[in-house]
Structure formats: structure tokens, C-alpha cells
Amino acid sequence: MATAFKTIPIIDVSALLAKCDDPKMAEDSGVSKVVKELDQACREAGFFYVKGHGIPESLVNEVKKISHEFFDLAYEEKLKIKLTPAAGYRGYQRIRENITKGTPDLQEAIDYYREIKDGMYGALGKTMEGCNQWPLDPPKFKALIEEYISLCTDLSRNIMRGIALALGGSPYEFEGERAGDAFWVLRVIGYPGVFSDDKNDIGCGAHTDYGLLTLLNQDDDIPALQVRNLSGEWISAPPIPGTFVCNIGDMLKIYSNGLYESTVHKVINNCPKYRVCVAYFYETNYDAVVEPLDVCKQTTGEAIEFQRAVYGEHLISKVKNNFVKDLAAD
């Protein structure tokens, strides 16, 4: 359960990554140390920084740079990849098109989702069926983002092996029917500085993330992300070069039977500079039926908040409330 944490820990995951394909990884002392740190961070804050993650710094930086280049384009150009329900809610959304708890956010973004082919999940898949929309300008956008997604997927799977051990399970709890065919979401987000518009200074309202694990790649030098602790204080999660900010989503809260919290966070870009954040969300299988793991029920006791969700249903209920109402008519 979350605490009144004041700082967000930094975890070097390199020892975990070095052994994550070894079935005996749990016996390794380097892995055990990382697992302990993950367990503490997930119980206390639900947020941590990861360093030693192995994704080349050059790619991490290029992804932010090319995102700035896209958002710098004229509005008409960006509209060429406009988000629509017919495109499975994939594509570009203008400033204040995304809504959090009823309030439009001071951000523009592009949403990408793992492809769902026609009929793949029956009725459950319908809403999210559609093609990802890639801009022709900047020319390298698609190739860079696809490479980035692929590396974030591998990294997330490997961190989840550590988290599975932290929960007292086998390293493979989040594979197979749970997340062996993990769905992912990538949001390229741009936040104008507050001085460019004063109608609403909240870049993203208070919310939790939906899936298992989020990896945030935020612009250097602009502190904007804030995380709520148990006392209701907002703790800053400023950018730390060489790291991702990592946080727990709603599905991991259920799997862990509430042992790990999907911590509430928000974004306020209180700086005149335009800020980019590229958020990668590692989720369960799209059709996973999510329930507390037995090993977590033993730790917490059966009585604790037992919940159940189908991930795809959870996502759709969020996505349908995330956009201004006139979108469906477009």
C-alpha cells in the first residue's frame, strides 16, 4: 500500500536484465537486490526511476527530438493523422481534445496501440480495431518510434519478471495468458508552456494508468510530473537523464491484490518551454481476465479488496471518456 513517501527511488536494473533469461535468476544475488528494491518501491510509492535499462541514450533522445519536430508542424499538417473512432482511436489529438475527469487537458498527443486485426478479439476488439497513423513528416518518425516500442516492450517484460519475483511468484507470472502477448500503448505527448495559454494550466489531470507498467521518457530540464502520496501531497518526479520514470497501472494493482498501488499522478508544465513526454504503456494481453494472484492473496489475506477486470473492457471504458464529445460525429 502506498505511503507518505517524499522521494521517488532510483533503481539500477542492470543486474536483473543480465539474468532475466536464466530460469534460476531468483537465486542470483544481484537479481535479489533489484527485486527487493522493486518490491519496496512498488509498495511505498508505486513509482520509481529505472537506470541501467540498456536502451541506447541516443535513441531515447532522438525519440523526444523527433516528437518536438512533429508538434512544431502547422496544425493542418498534424491533422493529416487525426484521431478518429474509425481508426480505433489512433492518431493525433489537438490541444484540449483529451479529457481527464471531465476537464480538457493542456496537451496535444498522438496515440499508437498494438495492432488489433479484424475480428481478433470478437466484440471486445471492435472499438480498438484500426490502423496506426504515421506522419510522412518527419520522415524517420515511424522507423524510430517502432524501434523504440520494440525495445520498451522487451525492457518492460524483463522488469515484470523482477516484479513477479518481488510478489513472491515465479519470474513468469506475467507471461502466458496474463501478459505473454502483451498489449501496448504509446502516447507521444506535447505540453505547451503555461505562458502560451492561460485558460487551463493542467497538462494532464490526476489519473492512474490502466495496465501493468508505464515507462516515461520526459524532456530534460522541465519538471512537470507530480505524484500523489498517501497524505495527498504532490511529490515532484523531475527528469533525471539516463532514466525512465516507471509506474504501476491498474491491472498490476489487481494482480497484487492491492499490495502495489496504481499511484495517482498529474502533469503541470509550469515553464514557458514546450515539453515533450513519450509514454510507453506495457499492458496485459488485450483479453486477459485479471484477478489477484494466489501468491498475493496469501500475502494480503483473501479479505482484501478482491477485484476482477477484463483489460480490454477497462481500456475501452477509459478511451470512450477521454475525448471531447463531438469526436464521434467527425
Ligand X SMILES: O=C(O)CCC(=O)C(=O)O
Indicate which of ligand X, Fe ion, ligand HRG, none lies near residue 277 (CB less than 5 to 8 Å, by partner kind): ligand X
Candidate list 188, 279, 288, 293; residue touching ligand X; CB under 6 A:
279
What's the rounded Cα separation, in Å, for the pair 103 and 45?
26
Q: Is the CB of 209 or the CB of 250 nearer to Fe ion?
A: 209
Q: Which amino acid is at 196?
A: S
**What number of chain residues touch ligand HRG (CB under 6 A)?**
12
Q: Are 262 and 311 in contact (CB under 8 A)?
A: no
202 or 204: CB nearest ligand X: 204
Near ligand HRG in 173-192, by CB under 6 A: 185, 187
Cell of 108: 496535444
101 vs 199, beta carbon nearer ligand HRG: 101
- Indicate the residue whose CB is closest to ligand HRG: 100
Taking the complex as a whole, the smallest distance from the CB of residue 87 to ligand HRG amounts, in Å, to 16
DSSP strand pairing (47-51 vs 10-12) = parallel
Footprint on residues 293-322 left by ligand HRG (CB under 6 A): 318, 322
Q: How far apart are the first and last CA of the chain?
A: 43
Q: Tell the residue number behind the cell numbers 489475506, with chain if given.
A: 301
Partner interacting with residue 67 (select from ligand HRG, ligand X, Fe ion, none; CB below 5-8 Å by kind): none
Options 37, 105, 209, 219; binder of Fe ion; rule CB under 5 A:
209
Among 216, 246, 251, 252, the residue binding ligand X under the rule CB under 6 A is 216
111 binds Fe ion (CB under 5 A): no
- Give φ, ψ of 36 to 5 degrees: -60, -45
CB of 315 to ligand HRG, least distance (A): 7
Indicate whether 116 belongs to the interface with ligand HRG (CB under 6 A).
no
Nearer to Fe ion, 129 or 250 (CB): 250
Q: Shortest Cβ contact with ligand X: which residue?
A: 277
Closest approach of ligand X to the CB of residue 266, in Å? 8
Applying CB under 6 A, the residues found at the interface with ligand HRG are 98-100, 185, 187, 204, 207, 209-210, 281, 318, 322
